[in-house]
Amino acid sequence: MRLLILGTGGMANQHAARFKAIEGVSVVGGVDVVPERLAAFCTEHSIANHFTSLEEALAWGEFDAVANVTPDSIHHPTTLQAIAAGKHVFCEKPLATDAVKAMEMTEAIERAGKVGMVNFTYRNSPALQKGRQMVLAGEIGAVRHVEASHLQSWLVGRHWGDWKSESKWLWRLSKKHGSNGALGDIGIHIVDFASYGSGLDVAHVFARLKTFNKAPGDRIGEYDLDANDSFTMNVDFTNGAIGTIQATRTAAGQMDQLRLRVYGETGSVEMIYDTGTSTLRACLGEDVHTATWRDLPFDPVETNYQRFVQAVRAGKTQEPSFRRAANIQKVLDKAIASDLSHADEALG
């Protein structure tokens, strides 16, 4: 498989390294509108072909698939161009900035018969995969209640850099720079984590978004600091279960933790991803009478990168698909609507 990497910012390095490590995959080209960044990236990863526009790369055309690692607002137009050119697409999340655009992309790639997958990176957690299997196998009975959180702390700690002076963080705080805040950045992950791990789809959302004052006039340089920093959701699931989903960038002491507890009629399971480490715990059987939780083993799982390559070779999309990402985007859109209306919002 010959791969083109579109967008050569920070996350593109992960794509290049992960795809190049898969036997039979060649990263044959890079695209970026910033020539200096493009040149440095291609040199670091020994990529022979450099393009300063997607149009130029498509005119060359000597590749099978595109890894779209552009900013969020650019995913929609560039992915549609790649699909029209007959390419498979592995897109960074979110698929688009709203559900209408995400569904347009989904329908386009399905009509074209090409593979379209989205990099929900926390699907790579073996604890999540094993926990989901347990829930679907009925090991905790019918799901009754779900609690999920995604906690980061880069607004209060400098472990990932100084957000007040670095554009790679400041744009995430500014709506005019294409950010939907914590909801769009990590909310999409925890909604997928909660829905996938519980095996349930969200039916209704009641949400609150919060933007905190972080600088004089809520502005640093060209960046208006107006995107949300935290959110909470109360949700109903399609099976009648209820739950809470929350995320923040202000959780001191947590670099990057996703935690999901799924409570069923006969037991419970907890799936945790914490800054690279996965943990799976459960309270099952006789342990429910003593409220005893036990750690459970799990096996390694294939990554999204590996699944995408397999999908292209087989000509059949695997999960997480464009359609899955579009449906998760619907939940985020309804969360924004709920925050504005102060009312419960139903997913159609």
pLDDT value of residue 197: 98
CATH topology of domain 122-302+319-346: Dihydrodipicolinate Reductase; domain 2 (3.30.360)
Sequence ranges of the chain with CATH classification 3.30.360.10: 122-302+319-346
Structure confidence by residue, pLDDT tens digits, 119-175: 999 999 999 999 999 999 999 999 999 999 999 999 999 999 999 999 889 989 999
Question: Per-residue b/e over 270-307, b at no fewer than 16 CB within 10 Å?
Answer: bbbbbeeebebbbbbeeeeeeeeeeebebeebebbbbb
**CATH architecture entry for 2-121:** 3-Layer(aba) Sandwich (3.40)
- 120 and 189 Cβ atoms separated by less than 8 Å: yes
Sequence ranges of the chain with CATH classification 3.40.50.720: 2-121
Residue 139 token pair = 């090991």
Structure confidence by residue, pLDDT tens digits, 260-309: 999 999 999 999 999 999 999 999 999 999 999 999 999 999 999 999 99
- With a cut of 80, say whether residue 348 has pLDDT above it: no
